[in-house]
Structure 1
């Protein structure tokens, strides 16, 4: 029986609905790219993506990202660059590509004999997609300014005394908290950002919240609460700018400690505790209220279950003064002093700079971690070490990108 012609209008790609309304990432779909049968279709897709395949500079940039993706795969996901990588080789056909549209056609080719080649092409496109998001994050251009403006808010309150003891507080006053350590996160390498995005459902650079980070290590869990109190009372951290979905506490049972706090407070009043006795009682209570085992965090599946800390993400309003506009205004000032018949001076003064913003203002996230020294030692040793954490992320990214190819080759991803 012949099918009615109108049925062709009602064929649905159900995975597209999963992406649009069910929270599925395009990186996890069965087919990363919808079928394309001609270069014209590929070009229309690229234009919709925001790229012009016929513009010379853009075309060269896209091909450069293709080449970088091949190198990235070899460096991190294959044995030739990583001893823990896959014992596979990129097909020669991919090295022969000279036009990006051919990569898309290869990735959607409906030919069973070339299915392995198709899956490799999809893998390369996934890496290219993430690299594009890293490169096109406008805020990256302001990163050094961002770091300076955020870190400076904290640096002015972190100091050492004459005995080299570290404190958070106001120098020369009693308003201070002894610290075991204070650290700021160095800028992530580009490759680290790419690997991190390959692990996230939201594979876009705007969803990275920990490019700028600070860590306070206190001598006991109670002082971790005092650090938060100080940061907020001094308006270093504005509570209204904290992102609720990013807040995690695996350090101390606050509800339990709160009850103990009120009990100790009543005892202090009734028994006339000294300041030192009151502080010691709270410190002891905070240790007794610490989680024996770190609670399991849904937010970061690669972080060791031993990892204990208080973590939250806040947003800081960054103010960037455009150096070009400042210099150009100086040139305009000089131009006004020149002969009015000077052609160059006339052109400079005639330029309309009203659309150039004097200041560029935007919010940028940063992460704060607070932990006591015992938790810090556990976090940085054994299972919780940063090296293990990085390896886990890399392995997860590899499985996520290669899952379809591994399945086709009958390689069990869980055995890797």
Structure 2
């Protein structure tokens, strides 16, 4: 059976000292880093401790509840190597705590989780938030996740060589949908899914990726952490909250590390265009010419935002062929279509009925709206005729 571990282990042997992951603070300073070799050692250590004492059975589902950082990625690969199935979840924080906790409990029950991996600080903050919120009386079955073993992984640093391992599961991990419109639903992502779709999304070797996308979301986890690793690349990550607080960090990291790929939802491009978010002084010397891929996805792509962002950043080296819209979903392991750059005018009423009717006459302008192309479907897919308003993911 094909395994992403085979690919990663091979790359670790070929260039053990090459940087694989680096995580940055608000000022762009690296606070965590792993080479290919050190990352493999770390994941093997976690895997050994997870198997110690045979606390889990083969293919047990294990929730990953971590704040932004590299420990979640280490735990993900540790689970895979131990023959367990990781399930990344949004870690409930003080903001929107009850709703996020409800989703976490739902996911734990739905996948019949056998345990939860987390960090020491996050586990402590979760307990504090539970006490403050009084969520136990709100109908959320906190006892369910409280009764599961919570395992802090930071201390798993020594390798346990004599611990028996299961073979890797055919299912690589469970990717749950956001739950924004209905209960979160789990998608079974296999090793084969990732290995087949990786070259379709990242078309160049040794990519350098900059990402602030959430690591529990498919675009962040798959597109910015799994794919680059399998292509022999490097990912520089930082927290989404740091992007919101200091959006120039995104551009600084792209320039500093000569990034070849990055991605974000439409709101981020719009956010960067707002007055006073990025000053002229902060963009002095900004150079985006290294980018081969600047993807706009994960939510509706607005024509005005798309056009204005391209116009605003072409003077800083952004190439029009690098900037495009895409559509995807967790059920298809990230990408369905790529390379959307065309903007067309269509009839609003027809669009509401699920039909794309182009407007070509001046008299039709009042009843028209613009939509951005989602690009060309992947060559491995067969798509039926469909339309989802003017959304792009």
Tell me the TM-score normalised to structure 1 length: 0.22
Give the number of the structure with larger relative contact order, counting CA–CA contacts within 8 Å between residues 6 or more apart: 1
Which structure dedicates a bigger proportion of its chain to helix? 1
Tell me the TM-score normalised to structure 2 length: 0.23
Which structure dedicates a bigger proportion of its chain to strand? 2
